[in-house]
Chains A and B, each alone.
Chain A
Amino acid sequence: MALNNGNSTPDSNGAGLRLKTGLAEMLKGGVIMDVMNVAQARIAEEAGAVAVMALERVPAMIRAEGGVARMASPKLIKEIMAIATIPVMAKARIGHFAEAQILQSLGVDFIDESEVLTPADETYHIDKHAFTTPFVCGARNLGEALRRIAEGAAMIRTKGEPGTGDVVHAVQHMRQITREIKALTVLGDEELYNAAKVHGAPYELIRMVAKAGKLPVPNFSAGGIATPADASLMMQLGAESIFVGSGIFMKEGAIPLDVEPWSKGDAEVGLCTTKDVGQPRNPADRAEAVSRARAIVLATLHFDDPKIVSEASEAVIGSMKGLAAAAIEEKDLMQTRGW
């Protein structure tokens, strides 16, 4: 049974999938930034982000605060959609097709079925063919990537280990996917059936990857990317774009930088003068966030020019403190969510 939801038409003729991967194509070579409010979304767009991911808490906060992490509130998503001219993405829990239906009805441009949120289904992912809105999904290896593509994902990203500022797992996942793709390209036709079994992925997709030497949808990178050099590293390893979560707007102790401007309300209660309205409440924090956002965008474009990546790194004020992924207990890893 296909889940039909309002205006969605399953893409039986492939037209839907072409529109979905078409948008992913337009996002190549760019940075997609996690934002938790309108002020952050404005900074992201002004810094040259190609899209924003609207969410209530970035992964570093989810990790620190615990509890069940769910889809962001529609109110927040609408506020961000109202001011952003670039595409707006939002996350649904793994398997939570009702959250995805809400996101589609809100009109978000991409849905991330994300391991960063608490999974809603321990067996099934969302049937993404049933939606008009394109999906991005995380993967740690080729089999996982192809299972998500079989379910209708229009973009794959490495999972990495979100909210850590430690790039080690994004590197591991990108290298593994690349290595497994390379290995397929030298197999004979008769070996591909077994490869499908080994990877736990549909034979047709295995065959497609073996012939093309790449995934049939764009392959981006996410999970622990925190610095311009991290972005350059992932692009050189074959990522076609970069997702940055906690790396831009967080300071130590999983506390966000204060990038909000003074509001009229602040002036009315005497927190600032009317002249201050629209000015940053905390200019130092704001400058730090802006510097990080700009630097990562620049380093992603010029990923193969160490001189420019170096200049971008030099322009960065402060950095996310981070958490070594090796110190995280197995049960607290986010990347193992998804099947």
Chain B
Amino acid sequence: MSHSPAIGVLALQGAFEIHAKRLAELGATTTLVRKPGQLGALDALVIPGGESTTFLKHLEHAGFYDALDAFVHAKPVFGTCAGCILLAKEVTNPPQRSFGVLDIDVERNAYGRQNDSAILTSETSLPGGPLEMVFIRAPRITRVGPSVEILATRDGNPTLIRQGRLLAATFHPELTEDTRVHQLFLNIVREVSSSL
């Protein structure tokens, strides 16, 4: 047996603690990542929700942006909300810098302000029945490329997508007790590490 994969949770700001808690519930050990030097030891990374403008500001320091850019182009990464925005090819409302590794376009705050935040439950491609999706000042995926697999939707727009070793959600699976989305990411991480 190989060692269990080292999974990092980007902890610049936002919902990093709950992500780490959910992954721990599934038996994974995680590291909170605040500095670029920590990326080298990791097999996979979660980029949580928070404020994407704040993330970008912090990434300006100490070559963090470039280090993370290289990481997301090579390893399994799961981005939720702000994390999904950072991974996208193009960001609108307003346009901002992103890693461009996921072949999708994303519109920030597309469903409105906090009063328009919502919890919706619907069928998805994940087995096990309807999935609860918590949307908070959520972005909308407005375009997906041919290599992107759509796993869940809201009014026809994708909300959970996979592109090979990359997983992204516009909602917050970490804010529910349902661990299926995190389990899916752990499965992706295991697939990737066993194929090496």
A46 to B117: give the CA distance in the assembly, Å: 25
A132 and B115 in contact (CB under 8 A), knowing A26-B14, A30-B54, A50-B51? yes
Please state if A25 and B34 are interface contacts (CB–CB under 8 Å). Answer: no
Q: How many residues of B contact A (CB 8 A)?
A: 35
Please state if A22 and B175 are interface contacts (CB–CB under 8 Å). Answer: yes
Would you call A297 an interface residue if the criterion is a C-beta within 8 Å of the partner chain's C-beta atoms?
yes
A27 to B12: give the CA distance in the assembly, Å: 11
Q: Which of B22-30, B106-114, B154-162 contacts A (4 or more CB under 8 A)?
A: B106-114
Please state if B14 and A7 are interface contacts (CB–CB under 8 Å). Answer: no
A133 and B109 in contact (CB under 8 A), knowing A19-B119, A25-B18, A26-B15? no
Would you call A23 an interface residue if the criterion is a C-beta within 8 Å of the partner chain's C-beta atoms?
yes
Within 8 Å CB of B136, what residues of A?
19, 22-23, 26
A125 to chain B, nearest CB (A): 20
Type the 1/0 row for B176-189, where 1 means its CB is closer than 8 Å to any CB of A.
00000000000000
Within 8 Å CB of A196, what residues of B?
none
A85 and B94 in contact (CB under 8 A), knowing A19-B134, A28-B17? yes
Q: How many residues of A contact B (CB 8 A)?
A: 35
Query: Among B15, B115, B137, B175, which residue has its beta carbon within 8 angstroms of that of A18?
Result: B175
Please state if B13 and A30 are interface contacts (CB–CB under 8 Å). Answer: yes
Q: Which of A102-110, A220-228, A248-256, A269-277 contacts B (4 or more CB under 8 A)?
A: A102-110
Within 8 Å CB of B115, what residues of A?
7, 104, 107, 132-133
Please state if B113 and A50 are interface contacts (CB–CB under 8 Å). Answer: no
A49 and B54 in contact (CB under 8 A), knowing A29-B16, A301-B12? yes
Q: Which A residue sits closest to B172, measured CB to CB?
A: A22
A45 to B137: give the CA distance in the assembly, Å: 17
Please state if A18 and B50 are interface contacts (CB–CB under 8 Å). Answer: no
Please state if B81 and A45 are interface contacts (CB–CB under 8 Å). Answer: no
Within 8 Å CB of B13, what residues of A?
28-30, 50, 301
Would you call A302 an interface residue if the criterion is a C-beta within 8 Å of the partner chain's C-beta atoms?
yes
Please state if A87 and B175 are interface contacts (CB–CB under 8 Å). Answer: no
Would you call A134 an interface residue if the criterion is a C-beta within 8 Å of the partner chain's C-beta atoms?
yes
Type the 1/0 row for B51-78, where 1 means its CB is closer than 8 Å to any CB of A.
1011001100100000000000000000
Please state if A45 and B53 are interface contacts (CB–CB under 8 Å). Answer: yes
Within 8 Å CB of A25, what residues of B?
14-15, 18, 49, 175
Type the 1/0 row for B2-41, where 1 means its CB is closer than 8 Å to any CB of A.
0000000001111111100000000000000010000000
Please state if A109 and B114 are interface contacts (CB–CB under 8 Å). Answer: yes
Within 8 Å CB of A15, what residues of B?
119
Most chain A C-beta atoms within 10 Å of own C-beta, residue among B34, B49, B109, B134: B34
A51 to B14: give the CA distance in the assembly, Å: 12
Query: Among A18, A46, A50, which residue has its beta carbon within 8 angstroms of that of B134?
Result: A18
Would you call B126 an interface residue if the criterion is a C-beta within 8 Å of the partner chain's C-beta atoms?
no
Within 8 Å CB of B82, what residues of A?
26
Q: Which A residue sits closest to B135, measured CB to CB?
A: A19
A109 and B137 in contact (CB under 8 A), knowing A29-B13, A133-B115? yes
B71 to chain A, nearest CB (A): 19
Q: Which B residue sits closest to A83, measured CB to CB?
A: B94
Please state if A133 and B114 are interface contacts (CB–CB under 8 Å). Answer: yes
A48 to B60: give the CA distance in the assembly, Å: 11
Within 8 Å CB of A39, what residues of B?
none
A7 to B115: give the CA distance in the assembly, Å: 9
A220 to B2: give the CA distance in the assembly, Å: 41
A107 to B51: give the CA distance in the assembly, Å: 18
Would you call A117 an interface residue if the criterion is a C-beta within 8 Å of the partner chain's C-beta atoms?
no
Within 8 Å CB of B134, what residues of A?
18-19, 22
A302 and B53 in contact (CB under 8 A), knowing A22-B172, A50-B13, A134-B114? no
Q: Which A residue sits closest to B55, measured CB to CB?
A: A48
Q: A38-71: which residues lie under 8 A (CB-CB) from chain B?
A: 45-51
Please state if A26 and B51 are interface contacts (CB–CB under 8 Å). Answer: yes
Within 8 Å CB of A298, what residues of B?
58, 61
17 contacting pairs across A/B (C-beta < 8 A): A23-B114, A25-B49, A26-B14, A26-B15, A28-B14, A28-B16, A29-B13, A29-B16, A30-B50, A47-B57, A81-B113, A85-B108, A85-B109, A297-B54, A298-B61, A301-B13, A301-B34
B residues bordering A, Cβ < 8 Å?
11-18, 34, 49-51, 53-54, 57-58, 61, 81-82, 93-94, 108-109, 112-115, 117-119, 134, 136-137, 172, 175
